[in-house]
Amino acid sequence: MLDEVRVVAFDVFGTAVDWHTGITTEVGEVFAHREVDLDPAAFADSWRERYLPSMARVNDGEREWAYLDALHRESLDALLTEHGVADVVDEADRVRLVRAWHRLPAWPDSEQLLTRLRRRYTVVALSNGGFGLLVELAKTAGLPFDAIVSAELARSYKPAAGPYLTTARLLDVAPHEVLLVAAHGWDLDGARAAGLRTAFLERPAEKGPHREADRAADTTCDLAATSAADLATRLGC
């Protein structure tokens, strides 16, 4: 079933980079500086929880296309207000925190995994982050993608079909010749519905220490890998 795959579309937040550690660290620095008495990790969790709902409003047509940075900023503003700290976290802090999603640490094995996969496949980033965000993120995290593909190019967000089909179209292949690699069941579900092949890559720490990451046993996919090395080996790389 995976013999026809020519392009690997690799998810980014959680799959290639450790957003939880990166965002928790930056939130923690801002909170310490502003003497905000909130748990940075729990705040990062709450911020990320608003990620899918904010994009769903774009996909459902409730609102016009908006960049992920704008959605992140709206969620951040609302959360700060809800926690009663809107007055102490200023404009510069907020800009910094939204920009923190542009500079996140790679998982220790991501670079090697991408390098192995690139021997056999064309390997592109496919993320709901904006194009510029992803270029900066890949560069600073040292992720050697063959190309960057962003939901911005489709003007719709995963799990809508647009980003998956745009990837196939831009790479000039059929949808079933694209394999999505992701650590999230919702992303694999969207890819499969669009006709792509799907590989689950388990990232147990993806949601931090307090929440359970998605697990292979709960995921429908063509290939479920428990580690980066397992994925590369099973894809013949």
Residues that bind its own copies (CB under 8 A): 118, 122, 124, 130-136, 138-139, 144, 146-148, 152-153, 170-173
Residue 36 or 141 having the CB closest to its own copies? 141
Residue 97 or 133 having the CB closest to its own copies? 133
The span from the CA of 124 to the CA of 118, in Å, is: 9
Residue 131: closest CA among 94, 167, 97, 107: 167
Closest approach, Cβ 145 to its own copies, in A, equals 8
The single-letter code of the amino acid at 226 is T
The span from the CA of 222 to the CA of 120, in Å, is: 18
Contacts for 136 with CB less than 8 Å, ≥ 6 apart: 102, 103
Q: How many CB atoms lie within 10 A of CB 43?
A: 23
The span from the CA of 23 to the CA of 137, in Å, is: 13
Closest approach, Cβ 119 to its own copies, in A, equals 11
User: Three-class SS of residue 225?
Assistant: strand
Closest approach, Cβ 133 to its own copies, in A, equals 8
Residue 130 or 185 having the CB closest to its own copies? 130
Residue 134 or 188 having the CB closest to its own copies? 134
Read off the tokens for 233: 């080996």
Closest approach, Cβ 60 to its own copies, in A, equals 25
Residue 24 or 156 having the CB closest to its own copies? 156
Closest approach, Cβ 48 to its own copies, in A, equals 22
CB 129 within 8 A of CB 12: yes
Closest approach, Cβ 124 to its own copies, in A, equals 7
Residue 88 or 135 having the CB closest to its own copies? 135
The single-letter code of the amino acid at 92 is A
Closest approach, Cβ 189 to its own copies, in A, equals 26
Residue 88 or 173 having the CB closest to its own copies? 173
Q: How many CB atoms lie within 10 A of CB 147?
A: 14
The span from the CA of 82 to the CA of 77, in Å, is: 9
Read off the tokens for 75: 């969620």
DSSP state of 131: H
The single-letter code of the amino acid at 82 is E
